[in-house]
């Protein structure tokens, strides 16, 4: 199925499927309004076809393999990844990817971030994650409570974190603030094994699941946390 324009997408939305049609796993083509049709993955319109010919891309902060695959499958663009950053190309015209970037038929009307800035962000994410896990392993990160950062603790009705995102995570990195609920959010988005959950339980509940849990669990938890922080910073996770 090729949906490279508003007109093509509109032709797919006909009959009883005039307003919405499933086109993939967790993926729907739907009318946003009279001048826009979106390809929605979960709750994010990863592609929007405009009636004037423009195409807009948005990962919703989820720089995942699936998001990239939907963009590549249902648009003329090709999204590729290198050193943790995305690049988007149409007809040989490439640009660093950023949410909201739009193809107007001949050029990109919004450029993404400088790849060097993205590499710097990834290093900051790694340093923060390493320091967080060192503190957690030493028992210095308590269990989540109402005393946590509200921006990390609160969850909207659709399951999203309304106060998260790049600026919010950067503030924690700059302050070296190891928010307990941040770890819960990480393992929810990037699941870990029972051994990893046992390792977390040992630290927060004072239990002892043995060295098998600590040995396997810590590595998995650290990887999950690193991926979460990178995703919140808008980097490929």
Using CA atoms, how far residue 79 sits from 8, 73, 94, 101, 161, in Å, is: 21, 10, 9, 12, 26
* pLDDT at residue 131 greater than cutoff 80: yes
Q: Whose structure tokens read 């949410």?
A: 99
Region 82-98 average pLDDT:
88
pLDDT tens readout for residues 158-189: 555 555 677 889 999 999 999 999 999 899 88
Mapped onto helix, strand or coil, the DSSP state of residue 7 is: helix
Predicted pLDDT of residue 162: 54
CA gap 185, 196 in Å, rounded: 14
Region 102-109 average pLDDT:
90
* pLDDT at residue 202 greater than cutoff 60: yes
Region 118-134 average pLDDT:
90
Using CA atoms, how far residue 91 sits from 24, 75, 79, 120, in Å, is: 25, 12, 12, 29
Region 181-207 average pLDDT:
91
Predicted pLDDT of residue 13: 93
**Lowest-confidence segment of 106-115, 139-148, 223-232 by average pLDDT:** 106-115
> Tokens at residue 170, please?
């950067």
The residues with which 87 forms a beta bridge, in sequence order, are 80, 96
Region 84-98 average pLDDT:
90
Predicted pLDDT of residue 167: 82
Each domain of the chain, given as residue ranges in start order, spans: 6-112, 116-232
Q: Are 27 and 17 in contact (CB under 8 A)?
A: no
Q: What is the DSSP string of 161-219?
A: -TT-SHHHHHHHHHHT---HHHHHHHHHHS---HHHHHHHHHHHH-----HHHHHHHHH
Predicted pLDDT of residue 111: 57
CA gap 68, 62 in Å, rounded: 9
Q: Whose structure tokens read 């592609």?
A: 47
């Amino acid at each position: 199925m090729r949906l490279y324009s508003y007109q093509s997408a509109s032709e797919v939305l006909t009959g009883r499927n005039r307003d919405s049609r499933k086109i993939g796993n967790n993926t729907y083509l739907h009318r946003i309004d009279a001048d826009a049709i979106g390809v929605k993955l979960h709750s994010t319109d990863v592609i929007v076809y405009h009636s004037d010919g423009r195409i807009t891309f948005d990962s919703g902060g989820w720089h995942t393999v699936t998001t990239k695959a939907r963009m590549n499958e249902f648009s003329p663009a090709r999204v590729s990844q290198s050193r943790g950053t995305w690049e988007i190309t149409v007809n040989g015209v490439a640009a660093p990817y950023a949410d909201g970037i739009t193809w107007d038929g001949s050029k990109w009307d919004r450029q993404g971030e400088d790849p060097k800035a993205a590499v710097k962000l990834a290093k900051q994410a790694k340093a923060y994650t390493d320091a967080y896990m060192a503190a957690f392993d030493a028992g210095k990160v308590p269990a989540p409570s109402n005393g946590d950062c509200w921006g990390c603790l609160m969850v909207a009705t659709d399951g999203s974190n309304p106060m998260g995102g790049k600026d919010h995570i950067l503030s924690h990195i700059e302050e070296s603030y190891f928010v307990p609920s941040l770890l819960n959010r990480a393992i929810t988005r990037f699941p870990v094994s029972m051994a990893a959950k046992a390792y977390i339980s040992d630290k927060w509940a004072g239990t002892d699941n043995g060295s098998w849990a600590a040995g396997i669990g810590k590595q998995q938890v650290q990887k999950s946390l690193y991926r979460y922080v990178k995703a919140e910073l808008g980097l490929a996770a």
